[in-house]
Amino acid sequence: MKNVVLIGFMGTGKTSAGRILSNRLGYAFVDVDQKIEAEYKMSIKDMFASHGEGYFRDCEKAMVKKLAGRRHVVISTGGGTVKNPENMQELRRNGVIIALTAEVDVILERTSRRGKRPVLDQADHGDRRSAVAQLLESRRELYEQADYTVDTSHLSPMQVAEDIQSFLRREGAVRA
Ligand code: S3P
């Protein structure tokens, strides 16, 4: 059975839906960002601040390669993991790719706590809504590479997990 890989912009609910989905499938749950923070003993925010985004992307690439090699896992990626085609190649090798999307205002609301998302904080020159909208638009095609997409704007994490599980069953991609 294939891994399940969640891609999508910040605030689309990858981590919360991914955790629930992994329980329902009896798979392990792995979150790329959390694994990076544990391995490098540093928050993503501090990594951006002290080493820059390029360094973080290198760590992210190495972590994706490692996690993509595991079996029976739900992998929650970071919002920018899709930017590197090699990451997607690795993840697709043994994974079904599921994209989570959400409306701009929902993303704004869910990511309103400052200091947790350096990419947004650095793009935000006063008008956070247009920073989110622009970044989302610039990545839209990358998220569209998914095998299946769920708009999470008006769904609970449980409903998102159920929707994904139904898709996986229809595809014969999971047993549970
Ligand atoms: C990023 C999203 C973050 C994290 C990092 C960069 C991005 O993950 O990987 O701050 O470029 O969109 P979440 O999508 O889990 O917030």
Mean per-residue pLDDT, 91-110: 97
Q: Is 100 inside any structural domain? A: yes
Q: Is 175 inside any structural domain? A: no
Please tell me the total number of residues recorded for the chain in this structure.
176
CB 10 near ligand 1, within 6 Å: yes
**Residue 150 maps to which CATH number?**
3.40.50.300
Q: Which domain holds residue 149?
A: 3-169
Q: Are 32 and 15 in contact (CB under 8 A)?
A: no
Token readout for 83 is: 């930017």
Q: Is 162 inside any structural domain? A: yes
Of the candidates 86, 94, 93, 106, which has an alpha carbon nearest to the alpha carbon of residue 8? 106
Mean pLDDT of the residues in the chain = 95
CB 117 near ligand 1, within 6 Å: yes
- The number of distinct structural domains making up the chain is 1
If you measure from the C-alpha of residue 8 to the centroid of ligand 1, how many angstroms do you get, rounded to a whole number?
Answer: 9
Q: Where are the alpha helices (DSSP H) in 2-52?
A: 14-25, 32-40, 44-51
Q: Are 72 and 21 in contact (CB under 8 A)?
A: no
Q: Is 174 inside any structural domain? A: no
Q: How confident is the model at residue 169 (pLDDT cuts 50, 70, 90)?
A: very high
Q: Is 93 inside any structural domain? A: yes
Q: Is 143 inside any structural domain? A: yes
Q: Is 176 inside any structural domain? A: no
- Answer yes or no: is pLDDT of 176 > 80: no
Q: What is the pLDDT of residues 78-91, one digit of tens each?
A: 999 999 999 999 99
Of the candidates 165, 135, 9, 154, which has an alpha carbon nearest to the alpha carbon of residue 76? 9
- Predicted TM-score of the model (pTM): 0.96
Q: Are 101 and 143 in contact (CB under 8 A)?
A: yes
Q: What is the pLDDT of residues 111-145, one digit of tens each?
A: 987 778 899 887 766 788 999 999 999 999 999 99
Q: What is the CA radius of gyration of the chain?
A: 15
CB 90 near ligand 1, within 6 Å: no
